[in-house]
Structure 1
Amino acid sequence: MLREYGPARLDVTVRNTVPPGAAPAVGPRPGHGIIGMSERAAMVGGTLTAGRTPDGAWRVRLTVPRPVRDDDRRTATTEEAP
């Protein structure tokens, strides 16, 4: 997971490497998955993208606006989670 933020937005990227020869998911798909996440992101003025990367991994990226506050003068920061 990678988090990037600045005064105007927050980006969260989750990347999952698919093991070679992994079988596709089978069975009923009970949730709303990517569509539901995209709709929830849009409700707060954000965007969500998801799909395969050129190296075959799966990536989901969420970008949401941050409220602007007078006391928030931090510079953009990138932080990698463990």
Structure 2
Amino acid sequence: ADYGGKMGVLWEEEAIRFQPLPCGRREPWPRTGYMETKIWCAEIALERRNSWEIWGKVEWLDHVLTVPGGSEVVKLLAATL
């Protein structure tokens, strides 16, 4: 998505959430955990340095949403005012 010389980027990160066992140890999924998908977002300011270079500076980056594992981002809509 492009807005005002900036670019927005979304991406997914699949992760395993671990559950502690009664004795305090942590075991991997599927016995004691579950899959989840984290959605991340970055805002990048763009600058043209010359006729063939575009530089970008990350102005903001954060995890914005967590959904159950197996979920997908299907479509993205960018709206500007």
TM-score, structure 2 normalization: 0.33
Task: Compare relative contact order (CA 8 Å, sep 6+) and give the higher one, 1 or 2.
Answer: 1
Structure with more strand by fraction: 2
Larger radius of gyration: 2
Structure with more helix by fraction: 1
TM-score, structure 1 normalization: 0.33
